[in-house]
Amino acid sequence: MQFTIEVNNRSIRAEKGETILSALNRNGIMIPTLCRMAEFTPTGACRMCVVEVEGRDRLVTACSAPVEEWMKIQTHSPRVIRARKTIVELLLANHPDDCLYCERNLDCELQRLADQLQVRERRIRASKIKPRRDQSSPAIVRELSKCILCGRCIRVCEEVITATSIDFMGRGSSTHVGPAMDRDFNFSSCIHCGQCVLVCPTGALHEKHYLSEVQEQLSSDNVIRVIQYSPLVPWALAGELGVKYNRDFDRVLNAVLRKIGFDKVFLSGTGTDILITELADEILRRQESGDKRNLIVSACPAWVKYCEQFYPGLLPILSTLKTPQQISGAIIKSAVLPDDDHQRVYTVSVTPCTAMKFEARRDSMTRKGISDIDTVLTVRELARLIILYGIDVSNIGPEAADEPLALRSSASLMAETAGGITESVIRSLFVKAGNREADRIAAKKLRAAGSFRETTVTAGGGTFSVAVVDGMKGFEKLKQMLDGGTVYDLIEVMACPGGCVNGGGMQPAGSREAVRQRSRFVWQTNDQEAVRGPEQSASVAALYGEVFEECSELADKTLFHTRFDKREVLL
């Protein structure tokens, strides 16, 4: 039902049941918000969105108050603006004045609000919060003095990721956000998904930077510098750098990375192709031997840690295959450029993920004390590196990546969105069965909205049931199905809602619709690309045909597998 309300002495249409904020936004009136997150129940905690409602003594929070027919609202009256400005001034009172040195300088919501409300002097003075910087986690850094206690990270961690690794500690002026027992982050149940980083309005939470390490390696002698990047990176990077993306940019990036000083540029997507091939083989092997067991994809390192700490009982049904990044890394350091007395190889991987930073350091991902991937960078970090090295991406011609990890199929790009690995594996099953057309109905079901999706496909002689968990919220449903005795031939779990397109190393999407938009880009690109699956990729053929034969550990595929162990953390 629609009705008319009066806003700033003009009438606008409002819908029954919506909040004042949504009615205003729909009518072109913007109100600053801080603690609000799209698709979450509003809390009205920060009071940034206050408006004046005639007949009410106190200011009303627009984000949480339902709009009513009798309302006469002032959104930018002097009283309202003064109130909002005071809130920002109070937040700034104990905030460290180090914006110039801050991670989020020029990209900070608090800074933007202070600017919009024209805070030009320090009116309220308070003692500064004692700086406390927690760098213990390999992926996420906490800077407690920059925290404004909006609580967004806490809500994401509890309501979306369900890891509940952080909460408010203490009370009053000593309140802060921290993990259990107020320990450092590395002891906590954090799964490094980085969703908290995406919602933090200030620089209080950010990914751990490894740029100085990369710079050091770029300028040292006798090192072969290798970089690989995930299929989504070129597109995400274009957005980060503010240039228009087109298909050529994928290959422009190769040239850019060589200009920075990397000797070899590889694609992690080739690793994804191998993962998909191996998964399809495993499923077919089980099908042939009548071995009906659940198989959960272990391609999401955040999910793997989640499983290790919360559900160690599921570890036996977790696929032991490494993630694409680690598969590529293992190939590079074992067959392509072995690390030996004559050469030192330094490998960098660029991903849309923060958990990969943690994964690369797992004991089980190293061989003889050497890790397959030395440094993991997020898309944001790579953008900074490119800017730092003064490279004009709009003025560079495309180049091909280096053999033997030079090509990727569109199936590997699909893996960047939730349900994509499953779809790609199904596609491979169809190809192996001699049927070149993938099951469109299955694809439609796997691309539907919702955090848990399942379907059954028939390829060749076999029927395969698959399930996709899109964001940890959907895991509850999967757990119910598994407890009920359902057996899936393939289960894909992605910790971040939407999959890697919404990863912790990407630009914040802001809403579920924006994440879906990114998935649509992936699906569209997938439809346009010629090399549909790993079977058509020349790189995969060359790897299986020649490269793997030269290395016994690759030939018997032991290097593609890892192990997972129960993890003792404070749950």
Partner 1 sequence: MSKIEEVLSHYMEGHHESLIPILQDIQLAEGYLSEEAIVRIGSFLRMSTTKIYGLATFYDRFRFYPGGRVHLRICHGTTCFINGSSAVITAVREALGIEPGQTTRDGRFSYELTACMGGCNDGPLVMIDGEFRTHVRAEDIPEMITKLKAVADLK
Residues that bind partner 1 (CB under 8 A): 158, 164-171, 179-182, 188-189, 570-571
Q: Kindly tell me which of 180 and 514 has the beta carbon lying closer to partner 1.
A: 180
| Nearer residue to partner 1 within complex by CB, 99 or 180 | 180
| Sequence-ordered list of residues with C-beta below 8 angstroms from that of 56, at least 6 positions apart, any chain | none
- Which residue, 172 or 461, has its beta carbon nearer to partner 1? 172
What's the order of all strands across the beta sheet hosting 452-459? 452-459, 462-470, 490-494
Can you give 370-407 as a three-state secondary structure string? EECCCEEEEHHHHHHHHHHCCCCHHHCCCCCCCCCCCC
Q: Which is nearer to partner 1, 170 or 316 (CB)?
A: 170
CB of 174 to partner 1, least distance (A): 9
Pairing of strands 462-470, 452-459: antiparallel
Three-state secondary-structure class, residue 340: coil
Please say which residue, 176 or 361, places its beta carbon nearer to partner 1.
176
Q: What is the secondary structure of 457-525 as a DSSP string?
A: EEETTEEEEEEEEESGGGHHHHHHHHHTT---SEEEEESSTTSGGG-TTS----SHHHHHHHHHHHHHH
C-beta of 182 vs 483, nearer to partner 1: 182
State the DSSP code for 563: -
Residue 86 to residues 21, 81, 129, 214, 286: CA-CA distances in angstroms? 20, 8, 19, 43, 65
CB of 177 to partner 1, least distance (A): 9
Cβ-based nearer residue to partner 1, 178 or 533: 178
In the chain, the amino acid numbered 229 is Y
Beta bridge partners of 347: 226
Least separation in angstroms between residue 430's CB and partner 1 is 42
Closest approach of partner 1 to the CB of residue 253, in Å: 40
Q: Least separation, in Å, of the C-beta of 315 and partner 1?
A: 19
Q: Taking the complex as a whole, how short is the minimal distance between the CB of residue 175 and partner 1, in angstroms?
A: 9
Beta carbon nearer to partner 1, 23 or 569? 569
Q: How far is the CB of 185 from partner 1 (least distance, A)?
A: 11
Q: Is 180 exposed, middle or buried (0-12, 13-18, 19+ CB in 10 A)?
A: middle
Query: Residue 139 CB, nearest distance to partner 1 (Å)?
Result: 18
How near is the Cβ of 179 to partner 1 at its closest, in Å? 6
Q: In terms of DSSP bridges, do strands 10-15 and 2-7 run parallel, antiparallel, or are they unpaired? A: antiparallel
Q: How far apart are CB 263 and partner 1 at their closest, in Å? A: 44
Query: Tokens 């924006």 — which residue?
Result: 514
Q: Are 157 and 165 in contact (CB under 8 A)?
A: yes
CB-based contacts of 331: which residues, under 8 Å, 6+ apart? Answer: 271, 274, 404, 405, 543, 547, 554, 559
**188 or 349, CB closer to partner 1?**
188
Q: Sign (positive/negative) of CA torsion 255, 260, 266, 271?
A: negative
Q: Which C-beta is closer to partner 1: that of 177 or that of 295?
A: 177
| Closer residue to partner 1 in complex, CB, 192/445 | 192
Tokens of 178: 């921290």
Q: Compute the least distance from the CB of residue 169 to partner 1, in Å.
A: 5
Q: 490-494 and 462-470 as β-strands: parallel, antiparallel, unpaired? A: parallel
Contacts of 216 (CB under 8 A, 6+ apart): none
**Minimum distance from CB of 479 to partner 1 (Å)?**
13
Q: Which is nearer to partner 1, 171 or 368 (CB)?
A: 171
Rounded CA-CA distance 336/542 in Å is 12
Q: Rounded to an integer, what distance in angstroms lies between the CA atom of residue 23 and that of residue 12?
A: 8
Dig out the tokens for 418 from the structure. Answer: 């939730």
